[in-house]
Amino acid sequence: MLRQSCDPADSRSLNTNMPIEICTKEGRLQANGLDVSYLEAGRGDPLIVFPPQDGELFDPLITKLAESQRVISLDLSSRRSSTIEGSAEKLSDAFAKFGLDRYCAIGISDGAAPALAQAIAAPEQVDKLILLSPIKLSQHSTVRLDEVNAPTLVVVGTRDTSGSAEAGRLCREKIRACHLSFLYGADHALAADRLNACLNPIKEFLEQGEQFIISRESQLIHP
Amino acid sequence: MIAGFFNTVGYAGPWTSNAWPAPPVGCDREAARLTMERAMDQVLLADELGFDWISVSEHHYSPRILTPSPMIFAAAITQKIKRAKIAILGPLLPLSNPVRVAEELAMLDVMSQGRIVVLFLRGTPNETLVYRANPDETREVTQEGIELILRAWTEPQPFGWEGRYFSFRTVSVWPRTLQEPRPRVFSSGNTPDSVPFAARQRLGLALSFMPLAEIKHRVELYREEAAKAGWEPAADDVVYRFFGHVADTDEQARRNVGDNKVDFGRAFGMNEAVLKRLIGNRSAALYMMVMETPFLFGGPAAVVDQIGALREAGVGNMDMAFTWPGISYEQQLQSMECFASRVIPQIRAL
């Protein structure tokens, strides 16, 4: 059940403050009794967004990513995070039914827990995992971090006192291919504080995977 | 009161020019060798005399201070003395790669058996020309560099840094510092705007070459900001760098110093382009200052009184240069000995 929309008024049932210039589709993912609303925008490789429970489906960062990715942002606002985490396998089935065999996943704030659960439950689907300001990681996920196979990028603000840095360090230590990056001067809301500085490593990670740590910038000053 | 000896490593030969940059042709090679030899002799003497700290600093392109790389001089010191702390006050972060600085300081801390103390600085105005730093950005660059270095010393895992002025995808410093969690770090408070940063980061505060009233004001501000950040600095969290000269009597000290003054503008050989750029800059006042006498000056009793006033202003940590125009190398040594034997024992309890 999909419908085209470029009018934010059409998405009034969803928790979003999406900019009007983003053209979205609204729909529902359904499988094995699971029923999740989503907003979709952009073209390119698929990127599944697990937004914060009380946050926007398309914040400025996700909106920018939709310029180069097919972004599908899940509306998890009406669910308890533990319910979503426990539904990872059903969600995998729903994605498969939807035609998404491989995708990247991004979890923001308390959306990190279900994103991690997805990477653990469906390693064959999750190509790369990005966690922004991760908090409230469940015991269930943290003991299984070593099962995450997807290359992972964790970004934490240097002024964030919510516990994200500790969660990021744990991921860096336990996940096989995890890169922890500190965003200088940013608080928990990374995109609100330093949008472009946050966007740059994420885009490069999505494009290059683990090789994003190797600079491609020329050091030549005058050819 | 902590008593530190600031080893300026001033050029031993005659200065042929007050211009900045000083032309390298004016540097006599033998005089440069003698400078290093004397500087190391002074280090050994300071350690033997009981100074708590021996400090070095970073300046460029001039005979005033021949340690453009304080790390190299500090490395040599680590192999010569085994007691005093080695204070690197300080590396100029706008001219440096902060990760490299973190690595080198960590090496020094291990080489010195954990005796490193550090102050990170922006550099004097001329030095913005050295490796093309923008003077309008040096404070922000320095503060970001400090945060990056502190993290590089304490993060247990490799990490990336997406800063405003620095970007590193992979930082993983080896060796770790011997001191745990890290060496003691100071940050400059020479302009009031810089003081809150030091307090917020729970760093020591470093002041230099300013009158007593200004010192007092800065320390009060530092303490207020620290209270806001939920902590209370100790007296030795405030270090003050200055010139001093001690002789057997007040009269002798007066004769040694004579009418010589330190004109900072001339001493720094302020570059004309920099001077024009400094107009309206709050840090400019320091570099336009003329000092009539050393900050501490006189016989032992007078100097003890002056240190008492410094302590009352909130300073618990002195970084004293024994140089002054007209004071010979031999007089510097005599002044150091007089200070160590007749002043230091009386200021310990302050």
Q: Which residue of A has its CA nearest to B144?
A: A184
pLDDT digits (tens, 9 = 90+) for B34-91: 999 999 999 999 999 999 999 999 999 999 899 999 999 999 999 999 999 999 998 9
Chosen from B151, B162, B165 to mutate, greatest number of chain A CBs within 10 A = B162
Q: Is B79 on the interface with A (CB under 8 A)?
A: no
Share of chain B above pLDDT 90, in %: 83
Peptide bond into B21 cis (omega under 30): yes
pLDDT of residue A121: 93
> What stretch of H or E contains A119?
helix A112-121
Which chain B residues are closer than 8 Å to A158 by Cβ? 147, 151
- How far apart are alpha carbons B314 and B197 in whole angstroms? 18
pLDDT of residue A124: 96
Q: Which residue of B has its CA nearest to A186?
A: B163
The CA angle A127-A131-A132, to the nearest 5 degrees, is: 145
pLDDT of residue B311: 97
Share of chain B above pLDDT 70, in %: 97
Strand partners, A155: A132, A181
| 3-state percent breakdown (helix, strand, coil) of chain B, nearest 5 | 45, 20, 35
Q: List residues of A whose CB lies inside 8 A of any B CB.
A: 155, 158, 169, 172-173, 179-185, 194, 197-198, 200-201, 212-215
The three-state secondary structure class of B317 is strand
Q: Do A215 and B164 touch (CB under 8 A)?
A: no
pLDDT digits (tens, 9 = 90+) for B233-257: 999 999 999 999 999 999 999 999 9
In tens digits, chain A (223 residues) has pLDDT values of 233 444 444 443 344 454 446 677 899 998 888 889 999 999 999 999 999 988 888 899 999 999 999 999 999 877 665 667 778 888 999 999 889 999 999 999 999 999 999 999 999 999 999 999 999 998 878 889 999 999 999 999 999 999 999 999 999 999 999 999 999 999 999 999 899 999 999 999 999 999 999 988 898 999 8
Average pLDDT in chain A: 88
Chosen from A181, A205, A216 to mutate, greatest number of chain B CBs within 10 A = A181
Average pLDDT in chain B: 94
Q: Is B160 on the interface with A (CB under 8 A)?
A: yes
Pick from B148, B161, B169: which is nearest to A212 by CB? B169
pLDDT digits (tens, 9 = 90+) for B174-215: 999 999 999 999 999 999 999 999 999 999 999 999 999 999
pLDDT of residue B6: 98
Domains and CATH numbers, chain A: 3-221 (3.40.50.1820)
- How far apart are alpha carbons B220 and B186 in whole angstroms? 17
pLDDT digits (tens, 9 = 90+) for B124-149: 888 888 888 888 899 999 999 999 99
Pick from B157, B161, B164: which is nearest to A169 by CB? B157
- How far apart are alpha carbons A180 and A164 in whole angstroms? 11
Q: Do A201 and B163 touch (CB under 8 A)?
A: no
Residue B28 has pLDDT above 80, yes or no: yes
pLDDT of residue A57: 87
pLDDT digits (tens, 9 = 90+) for B273-316: 777 777 666 566 666 788 889 999 999 999 999 999 999 999 99
Q: Is B214 on the interface with A (CB under 8 A)?
A: no
Q: Which residue of A has its CA nearest to B165?
A: A184
pLDDT of residue B132: 86
pLDDT of residue A11: 42
- How far apart are alpha carbons B228 and A115 in whole angstroms? 38
pLDDT of residue B284: 64
pLDDT of residue B283: 60
Chain B nearest CA to A35, separation (Å) = 38
**Pairing outcome for strands A152-157 and A103-108:** unpaired
Residue B20 has pLDDT above 50, yes or no: yes
pLDDT digits (tens, 9 = 90+) for A43-91: 999 999 999 988 888 899 999 999 999 999 999 877 665 667 778 888 9
Chain B nearest CA to A213, separation (Å) = 5
